[in-house]
Chains A and B, each alone.
Chain A
Amino acid sequence: MTRILKAILFYAGAFALCAPPLFVFVWMILTGLKTGVQNISYPPEFIFLPTLENFRAVFQQYNFFRYLLNSLIIATLATAISLALGLPAAYSIAKYRQGKIGILILVARMTPFVSYLLPWYIIFRYLKLIDTYTALTITHLIITMPMVIWLMVSFFESMPAELEDAAMIDGCSRWQSFIRIVLPLVRNGIATSAIMSFIFSWNQFLFSLILSGPKTKTVPVAVYNFISYGKIDWAGIGAAATLIVLPVSIFAFFVRKSIVQGLTMGALKD
């Protein structure tokens, strides 16, 4: 009897914790499936005939494919560059105990992003890089790179040094031992940091709002543009937001195990 009671309490507690964020999620999806009129009716309708009209409109009226592609390109580039530069950086911070440099990188990450925007805007305008993938990718690096570095440092620190010694004696240069021995052993960490930086870049709004233009607009900014002077296209926003969240959510669902592992594994030796 107490076991049933315990189970009921457990699930009630779990529901109480999960309901608020899930409710927002559900509301967003429902908004996308309703017509404009249904969306502003009061009290809100929960039983209605769903329509996919909004999703069609998002692609036809707002050129949403283009924005998805922009986001994909920028997030992929930012993630790739973060890994290419961040992995060796994290390795050398861990290996040569460059904790101070690590802190410096963290400071760059913790500085409010708004304070970067003005100088960046001026510099990029001067370089004629406003509304280019280059500018957006570079700015996203300030988010993704420290994430890669800080996640990976603990992974590299937990690697036994003898493995590299053995590799060096077996005939590797330091680079070869890094690529052939060290990297394969921290692949969980690499997967985690890649996923995290992709998601953070995908969701980044502020930099893209200021530095993108018609050619490079990313999806979060595109959704923001659904709010115009005259009206707010709630149905369109709902449909577009669902489309933004969907790929990342599906992705995260499949790799959730490795994310949890990656976030905790480097923390403990062995």
Chain B
Amino acid sequence: MANVILKNLVKRFNAVTAVDNLSIEIHDREFAVLVGPSGCGKTTALRMIAGLETITSGEIFIGDTLVNDMAPKDRDIAMVFQNYALYPHMNVRDNLGFGLKIRKFPQEEIDSRVQEAADILGIQELLDRKPKELSGGQRQRVAVGRAIVRKPKVFLFDEPLSNLDAKLRVAMRAEISKLHRRLGATIIYVTHDQVEAMTMADRIFIMHNGALQQTGMPLEVYGQPANRFVAGFIGSPAMNFIEAALVRDAGAWFIDAGGFRVRAPEAFYARLEPHAGRPVIFGVRPEDMAAHDPAAGAGDGNTVKARADVVETLGSEIFVYLTCGAHSVVARMEAPERPLTVGQTLEVDLKMVKTHIFDKETSRTIV
């Protein structure tokens, strides 16, 4: 087991910078998830760690060893590929054992390790089949098995679940988490799916345009996004962004979105001061909006009127697409007893302490 350190890692393909000065440290036994939209450089970074891609500049350490010029086979890593990359001409048993065979392990050792991996993954019955005779989920298991028989220092996963159907993906997600606890291994997992990142990661590394945006535990990046990109990327449905101005009125700060105006919580005041009068982006997560409860009285002045344009019913909760002044937002609410009708005007409470304000120019988080 080992930690993995990337220092000022850069990868250029001709004029395109795929990975831009990436510095991260992944701890021993950590489940690290690199997440970002496609083309953000996460897979390139992973392939550089694996040794499948040359490094333009920077350094990669695996367990204190500089591996920049080391061949993939000498890095003591295993990788699970998006399309599984099982060897089509070998049966499952040989697929699993290939890495050990090529490293000249004794046959009994190979057999026992293959059996062990097959037991862990529940693929004992499949050992004599060829990959083309397996379903997508079974292939995925074999691909994971091929990695674990090697008992490497670090596991690399490159979008391993994206070819599976939704139901299987959820099941495999839990299994990979379980596997991580069982093996106690360092895992670097690349995905574009923020749900996978949130549910599996010890720490999330969010990338955009080749650069690291934020590092943190899942709830940290959800609760305290470093910038507008992270705020919009993590969470589903995505955070609502509304162009607004900061206005001070009678000692209080207001967020004026032209069409509606809400009062900022006092805890925000100190940080809003330097941005007085400048354009900002007001960010509200759908789940931080709720239908106004008349029993609660007038509220704190953070109730806005909105028209319901579309209502999506999911059972226990609903997504409501609202028009609020000139802005369209989506709210995620508990399903009301009496169904909402389209075109209906309703009052919506914003949980102001959970909202965010971003600098419009730099996209950085103000609050």
Contacts and interface: CB of A to CB of B under 8 A. Distances in A.
Contacts of B98: 167, 170
Nearest to A163: B85
B104 to A, nearest CB: 9
Interface string B85-100: 1111100000000110
Which of A162, A170, A184 has the largest number of chain B CB atoms within 10 A?
Answer: A170
Contacts of B338: none
Contacts of A165: 47, 50, 52, 72, 79, 81, 85
A184 B89 contact: yes
B83 A169 contact: no
A50 interface: no
B171 interface: no
Residue from A168, A169, A176, A180 with most neighbouring chain B CB atoms (10 Å): A169
A176 B102 contact: yes
B102 A172 contact: yes
B54 to A, nearest CB: 13
A185 B89 contact: yes
A169 B79 contact: yes
A134 interface: no
Nearest to A176: B102
A184 B78 CA distance: 23
A184 B89 CA distance: 7
Interface in B45-88: 47, 50-52, 71-73, 77-79, 81-83, 85-88
A121 B214 CA distance: 72
Contacts of B51: 168-169
B192 interface: no
A166 B79 contact: yes
Contacts of A167: 87, 98
Nearest to A165: B52
A165 B98 CA distance: 14
A171 interface: yes
Interface in B81-127: 81-83, 85-89, 98-99, 102-103
A167 B87 CA distance: 9
Contacts of B150: 170
Interface SS of A by simple majority: helix
B146 interface: yes
A249 interface: no
B89 A160 contact: no
Contact of A169 (B78, B82, B87, B89): B78
Most buried by B among A162, A171, A180: A171
A173 interface: yes
Interface of B is mostly: loop
Contacts of B50: 165, 169
Contacts, number: 59
A168 B88 contact: no
A178 B205 CA distance: 35
A171 B52 contact: no
A104 B98 CA distance: 38
A163 B83 CA distance: 9
Contact of B52 (A163, A168, A180, A181): A168
Contacts of B71: 168, 173
Nearest to A168: B72
Contact of B87 (A163, A168, A173): A163
B231 to A, nearest CB: 34
A170 B81 CA distance: 12
A184 to B, nearest CB: 5
A107 B117 CA distance: 53
Interface string A62-74: 0000000000000
Nearest to B52: A165
Contacts of A173: 71, 73
A162 B87 CA distance: 10
A166 B81 CA distance: 8
Contact of B103 (A160, A171, A184, A185): A171
Nearest to A181: B87
B83 A170 contact: no
A246 B98 CA distance: 43
A184 B73 CA distance: 21
A268 B85 CA distance: 19
Interface in A220-267: none
B150 to A, nearest CB: 8
B102 A160 contact: no
Contacts of B81: 162, 165-166
Contact of B99 (A163, A171, A184, A185): A171
Contacts of B73: 168-173
A162 to B, nearest CB: 4
Contacts of A162: 81-83, 85
A170 B146 contact: yes
Interface in A132-191: 160, 162-163, 165-173, 176, 180-181, 184-185
Interface in A199-219: none
Contacts of A168: 51-52, 71-73
B102 A169 contact: no
Nearest to A166: B85
Nearest to A170: B99
Nearest to A172: B102
A199 B194 CA distance: 58
B50 to A, nearest CB: 6
Across the A-B interface, the 7 shortest Cβ-Cβ residue pairs:
A170-B99, A162-B85, A166-B85, A171-B102, A171-B73, A168-B72, A162-B81
Interface of B: 47, 50-52, 71-73, 77-79, 81-83, 85-89, 98-99, 102-103, 146, 150
11 contacts: A162-B85, A165-B47, A165-B79, A165-B85, A166-B79, A166-B86, A168-B73, A169-B73, A172-B73, A176-B102, A181-B87
